[in-house]
Structure formats: C-alpha cells, structure tokens
Amino acid sequence: MRKNEVAATALIGTAVAAALGFGVLARRVAERKTWKLDKRARRKLKKRAKRALKKAAEGSGPLGKWYVHVPLSLLAAGALRRHGRNGGALAIAGASLGAAALSRILDRAVKHRAPPPGRHEPWEQSFPSGHALETTAVAIAGGYVLVREDLAGPWVVVPLALASAASGVGRLVLDRHWSTDTIGGYLAGIALGTACAGAYELSKSG
C-alpha cells in the first residue's frame, strides 16, 4: 500500500469514528441524558468567566461564520488551482462549503434543542454548535493541505487549532451553547475535515 493510501485510510477511519461519536452523542442529547452534565458545566463556567474572557469570545465569533471562512477558503483554493494543485483546492473549498451546508442540514435533521438562556432565541437549534463544526472542519482540511503541499510548516496547524478551539469554547463563555453542543460540533467538524483530507490523499495517489 502506498504512503498516500495509508494516510487516506487513517484519515477516513478517523472521519468514520468521529461521525459515529457524533451519532452517539446526538442520540444521548435527544434523550436528555446529558442534561445534568450540561447544566453543571454551564454553572461552573459562568462562575469562572471573566470580562476579558468574554471579550475574547466575542472577538472569535466571526471565525465560525460562513461569510468569513468561505471567501477565505475559496481564495486559498483558487491560488492552489492556479498552481495546478487541484486536489488541495478541492479539499479546502469542499471543507468550507461542506461545513456551511452540513451545519444547516443538522439544524433541521437533529431533534430540536433549545439553547441556554444567554442566547435569547429558544426557537433556534442549539445542537450541534455551528461555530465549532465549521471552524474545526476548515482548520483540519486547510492545515493538512497547506502542510502536505509544503506551503507552510507544521507550525501553521497550531494557530488554526487554537482558532477552532476558541470559536467553539467562545460560544460556551457567551452562554450561547451547551457543552455537549460544542463537543458535537467538534466531532462533526473532525469527521468532515478528515474526510476531505482523506479525499485529498486519494487524489494524490491516483
């Protein structure tokens, strides 16, 4: 088996595991089996959240919006395509557009869950966190492609990972999501991001 195929197998295996984890968590949330955990986590976080932390959380909010990451991802994909790196371009664009679409699909497909009181829109879907999902998928696929294409060193993964974590945790600090909403978003984002990275590896082995 080639190196690309080994990497693709590992990435797609990770995607499947994360998707299964998301499914298990979604079922437990729908059955209200995480309710006590979420309430306890919210109570502890509200006690520890300082004003500076809330400001930082507000600043990280745009990172999880499609109108921020989609244009940036398409610009990066366009630059890769101009240099003949079509597999990388598709992986980055696919992760961003796919994350934006998946977030909205899950809003309708998953049983409705009202957000915490800090969100003030009880009719909106709380599970999973779109911020955590979208930033995680884009960070994984984008970071992986940039490193594999030798366009950036492994150090690029650190700020991308921090941005993803900050975007998801920021919604907890601002009381916009429950803790399991964010975990679910991370799992869905990992599933999509690693699937796109796996598809990229398969394109290089073809």
Per-residue pLDDT tens digits for 4-45:
889 999 999 999 999 999 999 999 999 999 999 999 999 998
Three-state secondary-structure class, residue 161? helix
Domain range holding 53? 3-205
Residues making up the chain, counted from first to last: 206
Can you tell me which residue has the tokens 């499947």? 16
Q: Which of residues 171 and 55 earns the better pLDDT score?
A: 171
Q: Residue-wise over 83-117: b if at least 16 C-beta within 10 A, else e?
A: eebebbbbbbbbbbbbbbebbeebeeebeebebbe
**What gap in Å lies between CA 61 and CA 55, rounded to an integer?**
10
- Mean pLDDT on 198-203: 95
- Count: domains in the chain: 1
Dihedral angle sign, alpha carbons of residues 74, 75, 81, 87: negative
155 pLDDT higher than 80: no
CATH number for the domain spanning 124: value is 1.20.144
pTM score, whole prediction: 0.94
- CB-based burial of residue 32 (10 Å sphere; 0-12 exposed, 13-18 middle, 19+ buried)? exposed
**What gap in Å lies between CA 193 and CA 52, rounded to an integer?**
31
